[in-house]
Amino acid sequence: MAITQSMTSPTTITLSEVIFVAGTKQILNFDIYTSGCIAVNLNASTCTWKLSRYGQSDSVLSKNGSVSGSPINRFVVTLDSADTATLDGKFIQQPKITDLAGDSYIPSEGYVSIRPQTV
């Protein structure tokens, strides 16, 4: 399952809510654009992703994103089933981009709801 989130930088926007069952593999695609809707070349950037419980600042999960180069403005975060197996509830996700000059920005954030497995 691939979830595509489009983000505009430097304007902070809210990502669509992501809902899934704990312990399932998820692939999150983030497409980054400037405020003028121009694709941002991420090939020389470091991309990370953090997940925190709603209302708390400490992250419960951090992942490195991978930049495939095609399209040039996309980075992908893969959540393996073990990453979320023990999680349940409402969370906030924040992707972070650090460019070649070392400047970092968080272009967006959004809700993640993780439901427990019932089977």
pTM of the model as a whole: 0.84
Q: What tens digit of pLDDT does each residue of 37-77 get?
A: 888 899 989 999 999 999 999 999 999 999 988 899 999 99
CATH class, 2-115 region: mainly beta
CA dist., res. 73 & res. 66, Å (int) = 11
> From CA 33, how far away is CA 113, in angstroms rounded?
25
Per-domain residue ranges of the chain = 2-115
Mean pLDDT of the 1-29 span:
71
